[in-house]
Structure 1
């Protein structure tokens, strides 16, 4: 098996620059918190003449609610793979005019036909990564934890109040499903009840549910264990060397976040200009260097920091590749069960 770089999943899954014409206009961009370099937005303004603003949200669920309330406030958003078809089915995204996206040709071959949007009619990849968890080796019993979801879902008594879960039913439910050996898209209420029971038993051990501040919380030693995205871990580890990223043996969710245009976007031409601009290798590489996640654009590795290639949390070791689990589209019945579990958990 060929060793993969931070730009490819050789076990799982054309450098071309298109000039961006000078334009006048406005772009309202919404993205996950701390997931886009401010200086890159300034470069976009300089390159295109388009004035750009950036808003932030903490989860796919928050973005979905914002779009349902009226997506006209945003011209480009960043939903994850699992939410693309939900938003399309709800009429919340508009199809691309692909004639305005010549840089689609820059996508790596393994990202050109993704199951959730095979023809990139509504989305193109932004960054991708994994959702595991991290812990502080100086603060856990024995200095090391099993490479399993067990220490996270059933933490030692000493860690009560020192563990944080992401504030997302998708991230929690999928991880719990992997740990229990249950299909994440199960339509069986009994299976969903097993996930619910696990999460309810874990809840008293948690300090909080939070998808914001994961980097700062772990870097400062405020908590000992945190469900975390690998890029966030990388940034925390740079500040606290005792942190360890875990690829649980039961399975690790691999996510792809995507650029998309809301149905009610006010500045559609500018949105296309921005998305096409982001598919230039040096631009998407700047986002990778900032957020510490991989991207899907051919040629961007020439502009990326070497440290991304050296971190096993980013450059998954060969013996961990089989643990990576890609997106599965669940039925409405399965998603309804998932929603019921979340409602019960957050009461």
Structure 2
């Protein structure tokens, strides 16, 4: 039983896996780490695997929601680049292994926005975008681009910087 982000696995891969192993995979999807966390935390689920993001692995580990991986059953660990292993949220990959990585960007419809004219996060606060912006449902990503827009690291733990980013996000509301 796999609990995964929507569109994170090609159905043909599941079919191939089932043919090669004889195991049927039941898949349920979620659209945010917070939704995934809440559903599992409430109990009554029977997932064998889930696909949380880095910060959520750390939270779930702290809340005793994960069990250690049986690495004797994991083949191919030596195929991972070392830069993807032993991250601060899960040293020694006791509870997680890399699956995907990526970055957040700005996507726009070139029917309404001139190509190349939207080049920095700060531009999202421009009044010309009032009521025209949609944001990803991810508090960490949203706070991250606000931190970038004020020249701070997305990984800051400085309370003053976080409050400044939050206040700036509040000013974005009319555009969303």
TM-score between the two structures when normalised by the length of structure 1: 0.47
Q: 1:151 aligns with which of 95, 116, 123?
A: 123
Q: 1:199 aligns with which of 150, 163, 169?
A: 169
1:160 corresponds to 2:142: no
Deviation at 1:93, TM superposition (A): 0.6
Which residue of the partner structure matches residue 89 of structure 1? 62
Alignment RMSD: 1.8
Deviation at 1:74, TM superposition (A): 1.0
1:108 corresponds to 2:81: yes
Contact 2:55 / 2:89 at 8 angstroms: preserved in 1? yes
Contact 2:33 / 2:56 at 8 angstroms: preserved in 1? yes
Q: 1:120 aligns with which of 70, 85, 93?
A: 93
Structure 1 residue ranges without an equivalent (≥5): 1-27, 207-347
Deviation at 1:118, TM superposition (A): 2.6
- Map 1:185-264 to 2 at 5 A: 185-188=156-159, 190-206=160-176
Contact 1:71 / 1:92 at 8 angstroms: preserved in 2? no
Structure 2 residue ranges without an equivalent (≥5): none
CA distance in 1, matches of 2:144, 2:44: 28
CA distance in 2, matches of 1:160, 1:34: 30
CA distance in 2, matches of 1:35, 1:77: 12
Deviation at 1:84, TM superposition (A): 1.1
Structure with more contact order per residue of length (Cα contacts < 8 Å, sep ≥ 6):
1
Q: What is the total number of aligned residue pairs between the two structures?
A: 175
Counterpart secondary structure, 1:163: coil
Contact 2:85 / 2:98 at 8 angstroms: preserved in 1? no
CA distance in 2, matches of 1:106, 1:71: 35
Q: Give 4+ residue runs of structure 1 displaced > 4 Å after superposition.
A: none
Deviation at 1:143, TM superposition (A): 4.2
Deviation at 1:196, TM superposition (A): 2.2
CA distance in 1, matches of 2:105, 2:86: 25
Deviation at 1:97, TM superposition (A): 1.2
Counterpart secondary structure, 2:4: strand
Contact 2:18 / 2:25 at 8 angstroms: preserved in 1? yes
**In proportion to residue count, which structure has more strand?**
1
